[in-house]
């Protein structure tokens, strides 16, 4: 039975933490390969896919600032970390014959393409998976905000956030056994209850551009395809009438 995807074009946000596997630092090859296989599965359904990768498995600006590096420099270091992850994802995808392009918000022409919106759109129309690196290119932002921004610019039908758990909970379910899981939330509820799905600027940008956010577990094999098909476990964040 062929499953019809619910969305035509999606952006998947993968945090650096998701690439850690069981490690405390760096990139776990097995995990990267598994995520690449999940992306290939969704692309094979005829869905146009782009990715935003985080960098927290290598460097976070906030921690650098804690050692006395000025915040702008520390954030540049964090953005460079996302480029390392983007190249790892690209190589894992190309090993399984998925055509990709990496576009960086900080131009580094001997490594990858610079971010050019119209060019990225063209790649997507040609079924290439575009991996957006270096966040927004600006310090004091996060890759969650970059994901909402690129999803808006690419006119994506949905932003999928792959996390450590299968949706949004009232508290951290790994620490609080009484934490309640939500199936559906409005952007406003996420903001007012400070539910920590994504930072406030990412939620506001998605709300302003009418992009639903689907939060699901990146650690369950095939979950990306299931969520894109409207099945599987996820929390959807959208308008009250969405």
Residue 70 exposed, middle or buried by CB count within 10 Å (0-12, 13-18, 19+): exposed
CA distance 83 to 103: 9
Q: Which helix (H) or strand (E) holds 37?
A: helix 29-44
Residue 145: partners with Cβ closer than 8 Å, 6 or more residues away? 135, 136, 198, 199, 201, 202, 205
Q: Which is nearer to ligand UDP, 22 or 97 (CB)?
A: 22
Shortest distance (Å) from residue 142 CB to ligand UDP: 4
Residue 176: partners with Cβ closer than 8 Å, 6 or more residues away? none
Among 7, 27, 32, 55, binds ligand UDP (CB under 6 A): 55
Shortest distance (Å) from residue 218 CB to ligand UDP: 11
Using the contact rule CB under 6 A, the part of the chain among 94-102, 136-144, 155-163, 206-214 near ligand UDP is 136-144
String marking each residue 4-23 x if it binds ligand UDP according to CB under 6 A: -----------xxx------
Task: State the DSSP string of 103-124.
Answer: EESS--TTTSEEP-HHHHHHHH
78 scored as a contact of ligand UDP (CB under 6 A): yes
212 scored as a contact of ligand UDP (CB under 6 A): no
161 scored as a contact of ligand UDP (CB under 6 A): no
Positions touching ligand UDP (CB under 6 A) are 15-17, 54-56, 60-62, 75, 78-79, 81-82, 135-136, 138-139, 141-144, 146
């Amino acid at each position: 039975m062929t499953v019809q995807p619910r969305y035509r074009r999606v952006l998947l946000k993968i945090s650096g933490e998701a690439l850690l596997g069981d490690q405390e630092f760096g990139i776990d090859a097995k995990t990267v390969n598994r995520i690449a296989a999940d992306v290939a599965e969704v692309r094979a359904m005829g869905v146009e896919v782009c990715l935003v990768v985080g960098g927290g498995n290598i460097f976070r600006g906030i921690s650098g600032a804690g050692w006395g590096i000025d915040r702008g420099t520390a954030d540049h270091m964090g953005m460079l970390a996302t480029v390392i992850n983007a190249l790892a994802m690209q190589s894992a995808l190309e090993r399984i014959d998925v055509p990709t392009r990496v576009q960086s918000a900080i131009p580094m022409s001997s490594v990858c393409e610079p971010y050019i919106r119209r060019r990225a759109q063209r790649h997507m129309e040609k079924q290439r998976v575009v991996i957006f690196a270096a966040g927004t290119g600006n310090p004091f932002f996060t890759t969650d905000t970059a994901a909402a921004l690129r999803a808006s610019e690419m006119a994506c039908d949905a932003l999928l956030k792959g996390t450590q758990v299968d949706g949004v909970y009232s508290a951290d379910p790994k620490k609080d056994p009484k934490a309640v899981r939500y199936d559906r939330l409005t952007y406003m509820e996420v903001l007012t209850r400070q539910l920590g799905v994504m930072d406030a600027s990412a939620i506001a940008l998605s709300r302003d551009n009418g992009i639903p956010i689907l939060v699901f577990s990146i650690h369950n094999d095939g979950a990306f395809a299931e969520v894109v098909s409207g099945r599987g476990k996820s929390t959807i964040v959208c308008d009250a009438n969405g």
